[in-house]
Copies of this chain bind each other. A is one copy, B any other.
Amino acid sequence: MAARVLLQQCLSARLQVKEVEEGAAAEWVQIQRGTLIYVCFFKGATIDIIPKMVNTLLNVKLCENNEGNYVSMLDLPANVIIIPQATLGGKLKGRSMQYHYNIGKEEGKELYEYFVAVCEKEFASNAKCAEAGVVVRHGTYGIRQVLQMDTNGPYTHLIAF
């Protein structure tokens, strides 16, 4: 496995992207109705898998439209927050989680940032999404992902790549 992605649907969500620092408040991004994409890369993952991952994720039919049918993120169209979530790579060992299969931090950061860039590009180049003013936001790699979300059912799905 090169990557693991968790998808949760939301009515709105808010994610901290900069922690409180002396003299500066925390910074947040937020979206209305859409999808949270939590992503974790494993050792051996390379940049080649990113376009395929993004294509799969943006086209799988997991978003409920106003008629109660499930359509893709591009078709809804869904707003998106991409969340780096290395903990998804954890493997239970006794009473603790180990992360031996996770990619290294520097490589993981590169892949994450490329993943974000490809997502942004795909949404921006889709006419329906551009017209609807779809928002693509993302968390900051390596910091705590302080998250609030409001759902009409998270409808949680896992996809392995």
Q: Complex formed: what's the CA distance from A92 to B61 in Å?
A: 10
Q: Complex formed: what's the CA distance from A156 to B4 in Å?
A: 12
Q: A149-161 toward B: CB 8 Å interface, digit per residue (1/0)?
A: 1111111111100
Q: Which of B62, B147, B149, B157 contacts A88 (CB 8 A)?
A: B157
Q: Complex formed: what's the CA distance from A148 to B148 in Å?
A: 8
Q: Which residues from chain B contact A56 at a C-beta distance below 8 Å?
A: 92
The answer to whether the Cβ of A66 comes within 8 Å of any Cβ in the partner chain is no
Q: Which residues from chain B contact A4 at a C-beta distance below 8 Å?
A: 158
Which residues of A are interface residues toward B (Cβ below 8 A)? 4, 6, 38, 56, 59-62, 72, 85, 87-88, 90, 92, 95-97, 144-159
In the complex, given contacts A60-B95, A90-B157, what are 15 additional A-B residue pairs having Cβ atoms less than 8 angstroms apart?
A: A6-B6, A6-B156, A60-B96, A61-B95, A61-B96, A62-B97, A85-B154, A88-B156, A88-B157, A92-B159, A97-B157, A146-B152, A147-B153, A148-B151, A158-B158
